[in-house]
């Protein structure tokens, strides 16, 4: 779905820090980690990428899951069925932060 929206997708793994991320998308302002969760488990890799100073390009993340829409101050949760709207969401979010 993300490839159809024109995103180049990248997988990331850092075995030294036990970080693994399903995808990254980039806009002109930041690098955005996208984690796809099959269960309701925690998201330590996503939290690490957002909170560590080593990753300054990352300002927030996105979790795709079988959950309701939400934001916990670090990452947005988006239901799987709304993945097709991700590009629009990111574009509108960027427009709002510039206004």
How do residues 36-89 score in pLDDT, each as one tens digit?
A: 987 777 788 898 889 888 888 899 999 999 999 999 999 999 999 998 888 888
| Per-residue pLDDT at 95 | 75
| Per-residue pLDDT at 4 | 56
Pick the CATH number of 12-98 from 3.40.1350, 3.90.660, 1.20.120, 3.40.50: 3.40.1350
Q: How many CB atoms lie within 10 A of CB 2?
A: 16
35 beta partners: 63
Task: Indicate if the alpha-carbon torsion angle 37, 41, 43, 45 is positive or negative.
Answer: negative
Region of poorest pLDDT, from 5-14, 19-28, 51-60: 5-14
Specify whether the CB–CB gap between 29 and 20 falls below 8 A.
no
Closest to 15 (Cα-Cα) out of 39, 45, 40, 56: 45
This prediction has a pTM of: 0.79
């Amino acid at each position: 779905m993300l490839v159809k929206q024109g995103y180049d997708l990248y997988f990331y793994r850092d075995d030294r820090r036990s970080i693994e991320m399903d995808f990254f998308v980039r806009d002109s302002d930041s690098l955005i980690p996208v984690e796809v969760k099959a269960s309701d488990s925690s998201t330590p890799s996503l939290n690490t990428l957002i909170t560590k100073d080593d990753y300054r390009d990352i300002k927030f993340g996105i979790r795709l899951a079988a959950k309701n829409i939400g934001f916990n101050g670090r990452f947005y949760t988006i239901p799987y069925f709304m993945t097709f709207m991700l590009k629009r969401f990111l574009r509108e979010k960027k427009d709002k932060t510039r206004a």
